[in-house]
């Protein structure tokens, strides 16, 4: 999947829908964006709730990814659960590559990481 580089501040997130229809999330970190499938390992449900008014995935500090359904907290670099009902389990990682082209704005290229299918998620 390709998308324009969003102008997200560090510690903020956004919801994505992959080309195959699966929900995902993008988290901006100091060393670049990270992406994961939006599927909590606790029960396989989405972490985003329809009535959230703050950041869609980050906790109030902007330091951890939060499952708004189960209150599980995940570190944003590798997606490992550090508190809540699924400690030690991980979110499914999507690899992210920043693509620069002089003729067009920067874009992100996302694909499923090796070991979790490894298929390219692109049109």
Convert the pLDDT of each residue in 33-50 to its tens digit.
999 999 999 988 899 866
User: Strand locations in the chain, DSSP E?
Assistant: 2-4, 13-17, 23-29, 32-37, 65-66, 73-74, 81-83, 93-101, 104-112
Q: Tokens 């979790």 — which residue?
A: 116
pTM metric for this prediction: 0.83
pLDDT in tens, the chain (123 residues): 777 778 889 999 999 998 889 999 999 999 989 999 999 999 888 998 666 567 899 988 889 999 988 899 999 999 999 999 999 999 999 999 888 777 778 888 788 866 554 333 332
């Amino acid at each position: 999947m390709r998308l324009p580089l969003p102008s997200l501040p560090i510690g903020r997130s956004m919801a994505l829908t992959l080309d195959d229809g699966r929900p995902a999330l993008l988290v901006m970190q100091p060393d670049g964006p990270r992406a994961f499938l939006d599927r909590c390992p606790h029960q396989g449900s989405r972490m985003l709730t329809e009535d959230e008014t703050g950041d869609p995935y980050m906790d109030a500090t902007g330091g951890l990814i939060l499952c708004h359904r189960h209150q599980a907290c995940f570190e944003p670099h590798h997606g490992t659960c550090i508190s809540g009902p699924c400690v030690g389990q991980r979110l499914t990682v999507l690899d992210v590559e920043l693509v620069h082209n002089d003729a067009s704005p920067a874009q992100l290229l996302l694909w499923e990481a090796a070991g979790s299918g490894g298929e390219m998620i692109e049109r």
